[in-house]
Amino acid sequence: MSDTKSGFLRETAQLAGAVYRAMRVTFVNLMRKPVTVHYPDKPRVYPDRYRGLLALTYHPDTGEENCIGCRLCEFVCPPQVIQVEMLKAEGRNYAKAFTLELYACEFCELCVQVCPTDAIIMMKSFDMATADRRELLLDKDRLHQIGEQFEASWATGNRLRDMQAPPKKPVAEKAASPAADAGGEA
Ligand code: SF4
Ligand code: SF4
């Protein structure tokens, strides 16, 4: 058999193999149930730790803004998209101005982790598609509005810090061995 003829047969066999593999995948998937979600008519269920839109919160009992304008979130934010201006007041401080450039946010959750008052949180939603970047520059009012509009994710600063703390000794175990504790520390 000439080289030209054997090359042609090899290529034809390779092509037939590729078509067979592709069609096999097609036929297998033809039998599957569709996975398409008819969003937004049917909203998706997101996991509890979903990191979506950022929002500011009010205290559930007093209705006061939780943000004390401490600027920790501003300092920790890697792309520096948060800007806070503190307003000093009697008893507690507030955020006089709070802006967040959502279009440059990395959704890293660091701002949530450091917030001492659980004032900044993430929501289980990303429903903010827009062709205008200016709509993604969020001011304090808009951030509070997002907090009221969507379902909050599980994480708050206090919960995240509790999770990272070393495990506490069970009370019964501590009471049973005070001497051992003292000996161990000596
Ligand atoms: S999630 Fe990360 S990037 Fe976005 S505002 Fe918070 S700290 Fe900054
Ligand atoms: S959101 Fe939290 S960390 Fe940021 S300024 Fe307000 S209180 Fe401080």
> What is the pLDDT at residue 169?
78
Q: Which of 57, 64, 110, 115, when mutated, tests ligand 2's pocket best, judged by the most ligand atoms within 8 Å of its CB?
A: 115
| Atom number in ligand 1 closest to CA 110 | 7
Higher pLDDT, 175 or 108: 108
Q: How high is the pLDDT of residue 165?
A: 83
Residues 29 and 70 in one domain: no
Q: Indicate if 80 and 160 belong to the same structural domain.
A: yes
Alpha carbon nearest to ligand 2 atom 2, residue: 115
The pLDDT assigned to 6 comes to: 85
The residue whose CA is least distant from atom 8 of ligand 1 is: 77
**The predicted structure's pLDDT at residue 40:** 83
Give the DSSP letter string of the chain.
--HHHHHHHHHHHHHHHHHHHHHHHHHHHHTSPP----TTTSPPPPPTT----EEE-B-TTT--B------HHHHH-TT--EEEEEE--SSS-EEEEEEEEGGG-----HHHHH-TTS-EEEBS------S-GGGGEE-HHHHHHHHHHSPBPS--HHHHHHHHSPPPPPHHHHHH-HHHHHHHH-
Query: Domain check: are 61 and 143 in the same one?
Result: yes
Residues 111, 149 within the same domain: yes
Q: Does 170 reside within a domain?
A: no
77 and 148 assigned to the same domain: yes
Residue 176 lies inside a defined structural domain of this protein = no
SS (H, E, C) 68-80: CCCCHHHHHCCCC
**Torsion angle, CA of 119/58/43/81, rounded to 10 degrees?**
-40
Ligand 2 mean position, distance from CA 72 (Å): 6
Mean pLDDT of the chain: 90
Same domain? For 96 and 159 the reply is yes
Same domain? For 4 and 81 the reply is: no
How far does residue 130's CA lie from ligand 2's centre (Å)? 27
Q: Are residues 16 and 99 in the same domain?
A: no
- Has residue 1 been placed in a domain? yes
Q: Read off the CATH number of the domain in which 100 is found.
A: 3.30.70.3270
Q: Is residue 78 part of a domain?
A: yes
Q: Are residues 30 and 72 in the same domain?
A: no
| pLDDT of the residue at 132 | 93
Number of domains in the chain: 2
Domain hosting 3: range is 1-35
At residue 186, does pLDDT exceed 60?
Answer: no
Q: Are residues 9 and 79 in the same domain?
A: no
Report the alpha-carbon distance of residue 114 to residue 45 in Å, rounded.
Answer: 27
Give the model's pLDDT for residue 149.
Answer: 95
Domain assignment of residue 184, yes or no: no
